[in-house]
Amino acid sequence: MFLRFSPKRRDKPMTPRVKKRRPSPLLPALVVLVLAGAAVLIWRLAFSAPQPSGDLPDWITEELLPLNPYSRPGDPLEQVNGVVVHYVGNPGTTAEQNHSYFENLATTGETYASSHFLIGLDGEIICNVPLDEIAYCTGPRNVDTISIECCHPDDTGAFTQATYDSLIKLVRWLMDEYRLDTDQIIRHYDVTGKECPLYYVRNPEAWEQFLADLKE
């Protein structure tokens, strides 16, 4: 009796099974965070307030107040959305005298007051506070405006021609530096209701003429 042997059935060689890696559950969250960060960066670059070019023009005299709680706190001015025009309220006083008053507040502590700029009766311009710091001049708008105090010869509050011409020159420069429009050039009165600058509150047509002169 013959036994028949069936040939062994050869199994196909086994292909090693490769386990598929499941994506990490943290990956989508990481992608979202990266995209969100990029969006924030683009938004800041597009909409952040422009920064000044640096040095002041040579027609401005820099006489910075000492750091002190009453006239130059050193707090950063993080954005500039306007320029505010004031008058000093002391007829006949000079820019240097008003600068000294701001400076002496560090000692007297009698009030909180300062401005970024002072314009004198002869048109001289003094910078009291750096443009990247706040000044104590415009109440709630201290945090986003640059302030200019103008000297005047008498109680009407009207500026001399030299003061007016320097104000035009200074405001035009600030408008270029911060890409501002004339509707962002305002009076102290427009913020707090105080009659300042007096002449340009009581004579609104003179203020409108000033804004028109800025465009020429």
Tens digits of residue pLDDT in 162-203: 999 999 999 999 999 999 999 999 999 999 999 999 999 999
Mean pLDDT lowest among 46-50, 57-61, 90-94, 147-151: 46-50
The pTM is what? 0.77
Strands 117-119 and 125-127: antiparallel
In the predicted structure, residue 114 carries a pLDDT above the cut 70: yes
Strands 61-62 and 125-127: parallel
Query: Residue 168 phi/psi, 5° resolution?
Result: -60, -50
Ramachandran assignment for 195, one of left (phi > 0), alpha (psi -120 to 50 degrees), beta (any other): beta
According to CATH, what is the number of the domain 61-73+80-215?
3.40.80.10
In the block, tokens 């070019």 appear at 53
In the predicted structure, residue 119 carries a pLDDT above the cut 50: yes
E-strand ranges in the chain read: 61-62, 82-87, 117-119, 125-127, 145-150, 185-187
Mean pLDDT lowest among 11-15, 104-108, 180-184: 11-15
> If pLDDT is split at 50, 70 and 90, which confidence band does 139 have?
very high
Q: Which two tokens stand for residue 110?
A: 């009698």
C-alpha torsion sign, points 44, 47, 52, 53: positive
Distances, alpha carbon 178 to alpha carbons 34, 128, 153, 181, in Å: 31, 19, 31, 9
Identify which of 120, 117, 129 has the alpha carbon closest to the alpha carbon of residue 173.
117
Count of Cβ atoms closer than 10 Å to residue 19 Cβ: 6
Measure the CA–CA gap between 216 and 213, rounded to whole angstroms.
Answer: 5
Residue 65 near residue 101, CB atoms below 8 Å: no
At 47 the pLDDT is 44
Measure the CA–CA gap between 150 and 157, rounded to whole angstroms.
Answer: 9
